[in-house]
Amino acid sequence: MIRSINTLLVPIPTIRAHKLACTVMNEQVLVLVHIQTEDGYEGWGEATTIGGLSYAEESPHSIKTNIDTYFTPLLLKEQPASAAKAMQLLNDHINGNRFAKCAIETALLDIEGKRLNLPVSELVGGRVRDRIEVAWTLASGNTATDISEAKRMIAQKRHRIFKLKIGSNPILDDVAHVLAIKQALPDCRITVDVNQAWTELEAMQGISLLQTGGVDLIEQPISMRNKSALKRLTEHFDVPIMADEIVQDPQNAFHLAADHCADVFAVKINQAGGLKAACLIGQMAHLAGVELYGGTMLEGPIGTAASAHVFSTYPSLRFDTELFGPLLLTEDILVQPLDYQNFGLNVPTGPGLGIEVDSDKVYRYAKQAVAK
């Protein structure tokens, strides 16, 4: 039986400003869920989002409020016997709130894995890879700084795939920035993430120039509300177009895959509404001939570990992953950090998520944040 559910807001500064089309981040507020059972097990989940409400309809504070007010009383009253039954209960009684649901499911799967002495990856489909390559996002906004940062990452064998965040500047300025970096890093895969900032006409101009310049992947160039335009862009260009914000729950993803609205899906466990939902999206995309990319909401190590377990089960992961979130933070909340080496991340192999959270540090940071 579930004994307690605690939801914590843990703000951690980033190592540098992280510039997106919709906001500039100088810290990340981790939303952590800590579930303890009557028989002595504990599980951790994460529902971290980006930039408050500037990116999505759930924010750290709304996630915590909704879990505390609606999720926790329901789960403590009904005492579902498994993560699957808990998710069915939540979906029957609570609309939306995909990020919050993901955190609860993650924590319960962490407990189930520990109880069964199995990694979470074996509970959600079975892993087919033990290591995943990890891209790094260059988001300082300065061309020279980004090139220097990328070369340092390559020399350290940290990353050799890079994503560039654009969309907040005039198109020609953004394109010049991207192509200068591509020319400086000719052997590296370069992805451009527009974060929905362009109109369809702007996207036609921008993608044409980026394709000519050798950019390898274009992520969500237009609004998530414009599905038809995304499909037109996918059909028009040779450079792969990746859907991100538009890829949400499995039903939504099914229609996108069936209509082949994009060449690639960026899958995020929080955006999908949970680990099993993210696995289902991956399977549907694979069956429909849509390639896969392991996305991130810039989660800390808990959400990143959970994501790694999911992506390790995908039949194909042609465009690799972006699970660099913990490396963007100035502090780690694990007793032993995640194992990043040789341009990738080794998927944890221990029971549950395979990580040990530093509970004292997490609760101390959460308490300090409340005191402010």
Q: What are phi and psi of 208, to 5 degrees?
A: -60, -45
Number of other residues whose CB lies within 10 A of the CB of residue 366: 19
d(CA 162, CA 136): 5
Determine the angle formed by the axes of helices 171-184 and 143-155, rounding to 10 degrees: 30
Quick one: tokens of 204?
């036609």
**Contact call for residues 351 and 114 (beta carbons, < 8 A):** yes
How many angstroms separate the most distant Cα atoms in the chain?
60
**Contact call for residues 281 and 247 (beta carbons, < 8 A):** yes
Q: What are phi and psi of 200, to 5 degrees?
A: -65, -40
Determine the angle formed by the axes of helices 275-287 and 98-116, rounding to 10 degrees: 100
Place of tokens 């914590």: 8
Quick one: tokens of 35?
């579930």
Q: What is the CA radius of gyration of the chain?
A: 20
Q: What are phi and psi of 327, to 5 degrees?
A: -75, -15
d(CA 95, CA 165): 32
Catalytic sites, residue numbers: 165, 322
